[in-house]
Amino acid sequence: MTVEVVPHEPGWSAQFEWERRRLEGVLVSRLTGPVEHIGSTAVPGLPAKPILDMIGGVHHLDLARSAIEPLADLGYVYTEHRPSALYFYRARAGQNFLDDAAHTHHLHLTQPGSDIWQERLAFRDALRADPMLAQRYSDLKLGLAQIYPDDPVAYTEGKREFVSEVLAGVGIALQTNFDTLQM
């Protein structure tokens, strides 16, 4: 698998809004609020892997499981990742769903207030609020992509300390399993 980090695409925001409407149409009775845009594509100017990362707050995970089939109709594949969230991904048409490089969308469904919810939104908000912090993260991501172009695990692990520091700065200790961290 190749680590692909590309310059920020201004159209990501519009793509997210379009996708949010589709998702909310399916998830409406299960959601506690709007689907949120997270990850690097949600931060203006930040280079990113070209994958729209999203998170939705749900009333109950058991109720959210009833959305697996309707989300499949939208092209989302459910995979069991962790007990505190439901994780879905969508890949390019005709691509192997098991190949992370083919993924175009990631969706986490979890309860608001969960570690996953708090960490991802706090990290996104910190980067949006501080252009210098976002630039540091940009430099780190680009450097790691050059050092580990064929090692997505090392690329992700290389971000751990930075993410932990940013979250600590807003009073949150990183709790989630970092190997699946979409930040």
Within a domain: residue 91?
yes
Within a domain: residue 181?
no
Within a domain: residue 2?
no
Quote the crossing angle between the two packed helices 115-129 and 160-169, to the nearest 10°: 80
Structural domain harbouring 102: 12-176
User: According to the model, what pLDDT value does residue 109 have?
Assistant: 96
Within a domain: residue 140?
yes
**Residue with the two structure tokens 């698998």:** 1
CATH number assigned to the domain comprising residue 145: 3.30.460.10
Within a domain: residue 28?
yes
User: According to the model, what pLDDT value does residue 92 have?
Assistant: 56
Contact 151, 158 (CB under 8 A): no
What are the tokens at 27?
């998830």
73 CB-near residues (< 8 Å, 6+ apart) = 26
User: According to the model, what pLDDT value does residue 102 have?
Assistant: 61
Within a domain: residue 4?
no
Within a domain: residue 1?
no
User: According to the model, what pLDDT value does residue 95 have?
Assistant: 47
Within a domain: residue 7?
no
Contact 100, 86 (CB under 8 A): no
62 CB-near residues (< 8 Å, 6+ apart) = none
User: According to the model, what pLDDT value does residue 103 have?
Assistant: 72
What are the tokens at 35?
């689907």
Q: What is the DSSP letter of 113?
A: T
Number of domains into which the chain is organized: 1
**What are the DSSP E strand ranges found in 92-158?**
103-110
Average pLDDT of each block of 10 consecutive residues along the chain (183 residues)?
91 97 95 97 96 95 94 91 84 54 84 94 98 98 96 93 96 74 54
User: According to the model, what pLDDT value does residue 178 have?
Assistant: 52
| pTM assigned to the model | 0.91
